[in-house]
Structure 1
C-alpha cells in the first residue's frame, strides 16, 4: 500500500504531520507479523493449488477457470512481491533500507496487480454473461484462443496504466547524522498530476467496475431465474440441472467479485482521504494512528489475495472434488486411481440420475 502509507507520512518519512516517525510496540509488531505469516502461507498454498487444479485436472480446463487461474497469478504476485516489502517497512518505518529499485518496483507492482485483478473480474463477468444469456454464441466465442487473446491484452493494459506510479514515487536522500546516507521512499499525493492519477485509478479500476458488474449480475440473475426457453417434459430435468450448475458457478464468481471490492474499499477510501482530508484530521489521528490504518488496509488487500481458493472450495463442487484429487496425488496416490477418468467422476458427483448426453453438457459448464 505504498500510495496509502506514503500519503500518510508514516512510511519511511519524518512525517508530513510534523512528528517523529511512528513506532509500534514489540507486541504490536509481533501481532502484525503473525497475521502476515498466516495470510501469506494460506494464500500462497491456496493459489498454487488452484494452478495445479486448473492445469493438471482435465475437466477443469475451461474459460472460466483459466480466468480464475489468472486471478491467482495476480494474487501470488501481491503475496510474493509486495507483502514481504510491506512487512519490512512495518518493522523499519524509517529510514528506507531496501534500495532505490524496491522503492519504485513495489508500488508499481501493487497497482499492476490491482488493475489486472479488476480487469480479470470484469472479463469473468462478461464470460458468465455469454454462458448464461447467450449460450448458443458462447461455444463459438469463448474458445481457448479468445481467452488467450483477452489475457494478452489484459496484462499489458495493467502494466501500462500503472506506469504513472513510477513518476509520483520519490526516492530521496536526506541528511544523516552518521557516515552512511539515509533515504526515504515516498509517493506524492499533493501534486496536481498525482491527484489526477490516483483519483482516476480509483474511478476506472474500482468505482466504475462496481457499477458495470452490478448491472451484469442483475441481467444474469434475471436470466437464470426466468429462462427464455421453456423445456419440454423430457428435457426439463436436464435443463434444470444445467441451470442449477450455472447458478452455482455464477454465485461463486459473484462472491469473489464482492469480496474483492469489499477488501479494497478501505485502501481506495483511505487514499482519497489522504488526498482530500483536512490536515487537522490527520493531525488528530497522529502518525501512529495513520500507520495502524495503513496496516489494516494492507492486511485487507492481502486477505483478498488469500481467500479466493477457500471460496472456490466451499461454493463449487467441481473445484472441491478437483482439490481433493490434486491433494490425493500429492500424497502419493496412484495416478490411475485419481486421473483415470476425471470427467466420469465429475459426472457421478453431479448427475447420478441423468442421461449420458445430459452429463456431458453439465461437465462442460465449468
Structure 2
C-alpha cells in the first residue's frame, strides 16, 4: 500500500527548496518577548472573558440570544488563554518542552479548536446583529429558538475541532512541540505540515471573513437607507391654524434627525472597530498559513491572532452599557446592585 508521504510527494516542494526554507525560532531574546506578550494576553484575556461570562451568569437582563454568542466567544477565548500557559513554558525553556509530549499536543489541539471557534462565533455574532436590525421580531424568534441556538453554538465548536483533529489523525501533520517555533502547535518536522497549515488557513479564515463583511455591510446599508427614508418624509401637518403644532412637529423632526444621525455614527464606529480588529488580528496569520515560505513571521502573526482573545471582550462587552455597569459592580463586589439578579446570584448571596 502506498504511504501517505508518497501520495502527497508529487505536490511537495523539492528537497533543496525545503532546505532553503529551513528556519528555527532560536533567538532567546525574541522568545522571551513573545512569551511576555503571551503572558499579557493570558492575564488580560482571562480577566476580561471571565467578567463577560460572570455578567451573563449573574444578570437575567443580559440573557438575550445575541449574548449567547458573546458568552460562547468569551468561552473560546478563555480556552485559548488557558492554553497559552503551555506555550509560555515552551518558549522560556532552552531545551525543548520540559513536560510530556501529550500535554503539548493537547494544548495545541485546544488552541486550534478555540481559535476556530472564536472566528466562527464572530461570524455568528455578525449574523445575529444583521437579523436583529434588518428582520422582524417574529422572524428573529423563529430563527433563534433554543434548539437552533444550541445547534449554532455546537457547530462553532465541532467544526474547528474536526479541522484540528482529523488531518493529524489521517497523517496530514502532527500535533505537539514544534521545534521550529518553540511552541505547542503542529510539528513542522512532518513533511506534510504545510498542507495542514494551508487547510487551517483556508477553512478558518476566508469563510468567516466573508460572512462578517457581508452581514455588517448589509446592516450599515439598511440603517443608512432607513434613516434617510425617515428624515426625507414630508411634514404632513396642516398649515392653517396649527402654528404651534407645526412648531412642535418641526422640533420633534429635528430631534429625530439628530438622534438618528448619532445612532448611525455610533453604529458605523462600532462596525468599523469590529471589522478592523478582525482584519488586523486574523489576516496576517491567515495569510502566513497559506504561504509556506513565511515561516519567520508566523510566531509574531500568531501572537497577533491570540491578542484578539483579549480585544473581543472590549469590543463586544465594554461597549455595551449594561455590561459596563455589571462589570463595575462585579469588580467592586456590589452584588446587590446587579440588575435583574439571576437565581444563581441569589443563591450565592444567600450562601454568604
Alignment of 1:1-366 (within 5 A): 22-25=25-28, 28-81=30-83, 83-92=84-93, 94-136=95-137, 137-166=139-168, 167=171, 168-169=173-174, 186-187=187-188, 190-191=191-192, 194-227=193-226, 230=230, 248=266, 252=270, 255-274=273-292, 277=293, 290=296, 293-312=297-316, 315-328=319-332, 330=333, 333=334, 335=336, 338-339=337-338
1:340: how far off? 5.5
Q: Describe the superposition over 1:128-166 as per-residue Cα deviations: whole angstroms up to 9, x where unpaired.
A: 111111124113332344322311232222212222343
CA distance in structure 1 between the partners assigned to 2:194 and 2:186 by the alignment: 18
Q: Describe the superposition over 1:15-65 as per-residue Cα deviations: whole angstroms up to 9, x where unpaired.
A: 96698965334x555544433322211110011001011221221111111
CA distance in structure 2 between the partners assigned to 1:241 and 1:140 by the alignment: 30
CA distance in structure 1 between the partners assigned to 2:127 and 2:22 by the alignment: 49
1:312: how far off? 3.8
CA distance in structure 2 between the partners assigned to 1:217 and 1:18 by the alignment: 40
Q: How much is the aligned-residue C-alpha RMSD, in angstroms?
A: 3.7
CA contact (8 A) 1:103 1:171 kept: yes
1:215: how far off? 1.9
What is the TM-score when the length of structure 1 is the normalising length? 0.67
CA distance in structure 2 between the partners assigned to 1:53 and 1:252 by the alignment: 21
Q: Describe the superposition over 1:236-276 as per-residue Cα deviations: whole angstroms up to 9, x where unpaired.
A: 779996997698578546633531332122222222332xx
Distance 1:39 1:103, change over 3 A: closer
Q: Describe the superposition over 1:151-190 as per-residue Cα deviations: whole angstroms up to 9, x where unpaired.
A: 1232222212222343311669xxxxxxxxxxx9724564
CA contact (8 A) 1:206 1:261 kept: no
CA contact (8 A) 1:71 1:120 kept: yes
CA contact (8 A) 1:115 1:158 kept: yes
CA contact (8 A) 1:248 1:316 kept: no
Distance 1:127 1:241, change over 3 A: farther
Distance 1:203 1:36, change over 3 A: closer
SS in structure 2 of the partner of residue 226 of structure 1: helix
CA contact (8 A) 2:134 2:219 kept: yes
CA contact (8 A) 2:213 2:275 kept: no
CA contact (8 A) 1:224 1:247 kept: no
The answer for unaligned runs of 5 or more in structure 1 is 1-14, 173-183, 283-289, 343-366
1:109: how far off? 1.9
Q: Radius of gyration: which is bigger?
A: 2
CA distance in structure 2 between the partners assigned to 1:19 and 1:196 by the alignment: 17
Higher relative contact order (CA 8 A, sep 6+): 1
How many aligned positions are there?
Answer: 295
